Structure 1
Amino acid sequence: MRSRVYLGLGSNCAGSIQHILAAFKLLQAELDDCLLSPLYRSKAMYIEDQPDFTNAVVTGLTDRTPEALLDHTQAIEAQLGRDRSREQPKGPRTMDIDILLFGDRCQSIARLEIPHPGMLERAFVLQPLVDLAPDLVDPVQHRKYKMLLAELAGQRLEKIQVGETTAAGKVLWKR
């Protein structure tokens, strides 16, 4: 059974925009109807003495299980230079891919919690999610994400203009 998934992408190492776009290209090979949100720059939340993050959300359709998709996204992270054995938790990273939503599932296993447990407190997740799906409803709180985003108005985001185009020559987004 195919499920619509939403993945949060983040990077705060040199070339972060290129890392996000490279991850998107790799995810396009895996997900059908794959779309990328606008990119946003935000301050690091937990360890503030590090570079700003570039964030986006990707959505698409998959036949994989949540666990198989997690394995695949972690392989993409490694391919783009992430070494979990050497990084500081919540510290700088070349690529972080989080499974935010997986259809309407709510599940918690040792390696994965869906919906992602921190997403409702992060404007850098909710804004690009709302850009892709403005009427999407949280499966736990049963409220639209755009309403939840409004509660995070104090978190500053900067929209990044990237002139990336699709194969059809259409600009994915503009500032």
Structure 2
Amino acid sequence: MRGVLALGANTGDRAANLHAALAALDALDGLDVEAVSSFVETAPVGAVPDQPDFLNAVALVRTTLDPHALLRACHAVEAAVGLDRASKVPDGPRPIDVDVVTLGDVVLDEDGLVLPHPRARERAFVLGPWLELDPDAELPGPRGGRVADLLARVAP
């Protein structure tokens, strides 16, 4: 099944952290990174002021992992690159963040996993890089739509 992952980093060597996460993802059994967007620098989003800008990217992956196994794999990659989830501040600075944006047309909200990612449709730093990789991309689900249209609504 094809999936979309969003990656971001705003502490340490951001580009090295993204590259390390992508390599770790691609090394996982049952997951192949098929394409990676350009890296884009963006201002932080959320309630935590005074933190460094993020470097963001999107990866298109093909996987045999189920949604929860994919989320666990992303969390393991985050830990390997230096994210301590126990002390992670929501919307705060981090060495890496790997979010599952979509997994095929799966729509679910269970056991801490919401697909598609609940804020993907509002985030230009996800939609823009995704559109770069797949001009015909669509966000599944009742609040989804063509990525190009969603990006046009949120881009300044």
Q: Kindly provide the CA deviation profile for residues 24-81 of structure 1, in whole angstroms up to 9, marking residues without a partner as x.
A: 1111123235211111000001123100001001111111111011111100100000
Structure 2 unaligned regions, length at least 5: none
Q: Which SS does the other structure have where 1:18 is aligned?
A: helix
Name the aligned partner's letter for residue 40 of structure 2. Y
Describe the shift of the 1:142–1:83 C-alpha distance in structure 2 as closer, same or farther (beyond 3 A).
closer
- CA RMSD across the alignment: 1.2
Runs of 4+ with >6 A deviation: none
The match for 1:21 is 19
User: How does 1:26-105 map onto structure 2 within 5 Å?
Assistant: 26-30=24-28, 31-32=31-32, 34-46=34-46, 47-105=48-106
Structure 2 Cα separation of the partners of residues 125 and 107 of structure 1: 20
Structure 1 Cα separation of the partners of residues 150 and 81 of structure 2: 32
Contact in 2 for aligned 1:27/1:34 (Cα 8 Å): no
Name the aligned partner's letter for residue 22 of structure 1. A
1:10 partnered with 2:24: no
Q: Count residues in correspondence.
A: 152
Superposition TM-score, scaled by structure 2 size: 0.93
Identity, % of aligned pairs? 38
Q: Kindly provide the CA deviation profile for residues 132-166 of structure 1, in whole angstroms up to 9, marking residues without a partner as x.
A: 11101221245210111011122xxxxxxxxxxxx
| Higher Cα radius of gyration | 1
Q: Kindly provide the CA deviation profile for residues 84-121 of structure 1, in whole angstroms up to 9, marking residues without a partner as x.
A: 11222211011110000000110111210000001111
Structure 1 residue 127: Cα displacement? 0.5
